[in-house]
A and B are shown apart, each in its own frame.
Chain A
Amino acid sequence: MRLGVPAMSNLTETKVQNQGHSVMSLQLSKWRKSPVFYPLVGFIVIFVAMAFVNENFLTTNNLSNVARQVSINAIIAVGMTCAILTGGIDLSVGAVMALAGTVTAGLMAAGMPPEAAVLAGLMVGALFGAGNGAFVAYAKMPPIIVTLATMGIARGLALIYTGGYPVSGLPDSFAFLGRGELFGLQLPILVMLVVFALAYILLNKTPIGRYIYAIGGNEEAARLSGVRVSRYKLMVYTLSGTTAAIAGIVLTSRLMSGQPNSGIGFELDAIAAVVLGGTAIAGGRGAIIGTLVGAMMLGVLNNGLNLMGVSPYVQNVIKGGIILLAIYIGRTRGK
């Protein structure tokens, strides 16, 4: 562990020498304007701090564990990022995750092939999200209320569908999604990377992404200039339901059982990841890469505190404090 840290500081020193001062500062000032700058600095600080205080932290095994643990929250946070970028929010993701997971599990337990069941689970998430979107975009109800209500509905449906018991007896081949490996990466990590890559393209390279930012930046201007705002809001909530379903299915595969009570409180972790990642809660500004960094930050913090043997009670206080601090710094510096 003591090897890692000096190596990093050496790296920055050589950079300074090679590039010269003015170029360096220009690069830096450009960098600082990026919404990802402060989240990344925060992540590095926490990462380095954890590496210092705990010798088991910087092992390949532990780091890949962290990445896998992070993946569920990070996948949910992708849809959440889009919702928050439009100035909305989706509180139903944790419950939708459980609903999609149990439906997928239930269908397989009833004999449906895994591929079809996964597809059905994704459809459930997408449809549920579309329902949220319809209320938000067309009935013009506040997203926080709509998704608070549908959070209860989704959770209730999951419990009704399973009778309150976990669904087990899933086919072995289904375990691949949560426990398998491909190209040397654990499947959940791979799924996370693919989801982020697609979201990056959507948000940064396509008209839909531009509209999502525009709606959060100034919905009225977007509407008056002829953007079909309602249509894109519907899409955003559908997407959020879908990413929640992906997370739910991966988790079901990891546990090899459909848990109707899984995902409780996950919406809050997802929101924390988005906001720690530098996305403005009022919408319009932010970046999907920031969300990945934010989710990693939470994961590293969790893992580090666990390794240190900090009591879970104390962990909650520390995490809450760090979120407050990070967002305060983001508010005062990040403009």
Chain B
Amino acid sequence: MSSLLSLEHISKSFPGVKALTDISLRLEEGEIHALLGENGAGKSTLMKILCGIHNPDTGTITINGEQMHFYNYHNAIDAGVGIIFQEFSLIPYLNAFENIFLGRELTNRFGMLDRASMRKKAEALFQRLSVDIDLTVPVHHLSVAEQQFVEIAKALSLDARILVLDEPTATLTPNEADHLFRIMRELKSQGVGMIFISHHMEEIYEVCDRITVLRDGCKVGECAVQTTDVDDLVELMVGRKIENNFPPKVTHADGHEVVIDVRSIQLTKDAPVNSFQLQKGEILGFAGLVGSGRTELAMGLLGATPVYRKEVVVNGRPETLKSPADALNCGIGLLPESRKTEGLVLPFSIRENITLNNLAKHCGKGFIIDRRDEGQVVDELMRKVRVKAPDHETPVGNLSGGNQQKVVIARWLNHECKVLIFDEPTRGIDVGAKHEIYRLMRALTALGISIIMISSELPEVVGVSDRVAVFRQGRIVKTLAGDAVNSNEIMRHATGGARDE
């Protein structure tokens, strides 16, 4: 008998990157199949191939014994594939049934919307899921979980036999997640096959039958849930050898001088309370899964986003840090996650970007910027961080990712900051430039600067950090130091595989 779905020998390359290599996966009727892997292991690419967003270079997709060729998302929907993305595709101001029937509204014989029948059909769908959704309110009034149920109902209304759930629990509370699992079991009993992507081990153990593990675009294992234990899974996920190309960790932290003491920080009223300390000259890694609250914490600390409560002591003095400008006054700077939208003023030259937040320095006593002084300082900083560009008047939009990042770093060096927060410092940067950034970070610590590095790349976290704070669901669950800074330990805590808390 043929499987509900079988992916055979799928490979896919993007310019310069081999994203997937020879991946096969089978899904039976009524099976919940977990797809597991680190950030960037290829899960999303594989699912995008399954639903026709990408075309595989080689390999076949077979559904119920019939070989399929998907050229776009609609082909996949027609073949019975439904996908629930992390980001919802609902129109917030329409209600549930209007969303479900969006683009294929039922009409009566006058060509008018037949709201009554749409409503009735939607009610039947939700009955099948045994959930109670208010059909009359715009979906943005519904909870995140309810919106997800609407998405699922939408997929089912399209006769989906195969459902892909891409990290559906990431934004749910435990209760809501339990509700989702009940729905998944219900669908399972109706013969729907599901591919479930999640980083949370306990969830996988709760609902899944089998697990496929991806690593660096390759399938590294497939196993049944009952016969596999968590540690083996973590090992499979991260089991690569970490390339030994990070600069040596010469710790300049003496362990005594605390630069920032975050006594408590709570982002919203219901959020967990966190606390940590940053020592002089150390690199503290913020590790965790995407969405585990690392960036949010950093932004809250800086005053870039409002927080419910925080008590921060910088260099022995309590500070309120109400805005990034306050943080700057305390010598704290941020290299944001997205250089182009948050880091750089793209129409500006290198010079204007570097001096952006410290123009007073180049004004002497008056109000007029001393262009010569500004240019000289910028040239020197460009040499220091090795920005490759014809001159300092080059627009930053023309620079490579690595050089753009260096411009942002230079901006903070111009300020003699004491603390720098690097959010995903090497995202979208080529390998060579990555190493330069790592070396630069080490050089900064030698100057007594302390660094918080937020990174989703495990090898980077392990290779660069002196200590690592591991985040899970908004909470710092563990701070690792010394030999404990390794992939397995970090992943165990980040996924909740370590149940000893």
Contacts and interface: CB of A to CB of B under 8 A. Distances in A.
Answer yes or no: do A and B interact.
yes
Interface of A: 201, 205-208, 210-211, 213-214, 217-218, 220-228, 284-285
A226 B343 contact: no
The 10 closest A-B pairs by CB, nearest first: A226-B328, A207-B359, A217-B345, A225-B357, A226-B357, A218-B345, A226-B325, A217-B347, A205-B368, A228-B325
Interface stretch (B276-284, B334-342, B477-485): B334-342
A285 B347 contact: yes
B126 interface: no
A interface majority secondary structure: helix
A214 B348 contact: yes
A154 to B, nearest CB: 30
B363 A224 contact: no
Nearest to A204: B369
Of A206, A210, A221, A228, most B-chain CB atoms within 10 Å? A221
Interface string B348-377: 100010011101100100011100000000
Interface string B287-305: 0000000000000001010
A213 B323 CA distance: 20
Contact of A228 (B323, B342, B411): B323
Interface of B: 302, 304, 323-325, 327-329, 333-334, 336, 341-348, 352, 355-357, 359-360, 363, 367-369, 411
Contacts of B411: 225
A207 B367 contact: yes
Given A206-B363, A221-B344, A224-B324, 14 more contacts: A208-B367, A210-B355, A210-B369, A213-B345, A213-B347, A213-B352, A214-B348, A217-B345, A217-B347, A218-B345, A224-B302, A225-B334, A226-B325, A227-B325
Of B329, B333, B343, B345, most A-chain CB atoms within 10 Å? B345
Given A207-B360, A225-B324, A226-B324, A220 B342 contact: yes
B347 A284 contact: yes
Given A228-B323, A228-B325, A285-B347, A222 B356 contact: yes
A206 B369 contact: yes
A47 B177 CA distance: 71
Of B324, B327, B328, B341, most A-chain CB atoms within 10 Å? B324
A213 B348 contact: yes
A220 B338 CA distance: 11
A224 B360 CA distance: 18
Nearest to B370: A205
Contacts of B369: 205-207, 210
B324 A223 contact: yes
B324 to A, nearest CB: 5
Nearest to B328: A226
A218 B344 contact: yes
A284 B397 CA distance: 14
A284 B345 CA distance: 9
A224 B345 contact: no
Nearest to B304: A224
A19 to B, nearest CB: 23
B336 A227 contact: no
A327 to B, nearest CB: 18
A216 to B, nearest CB: 8
Contacts of A223: 304, 323-324
Contacts of B363: 206-207
Nearest to B408: A225
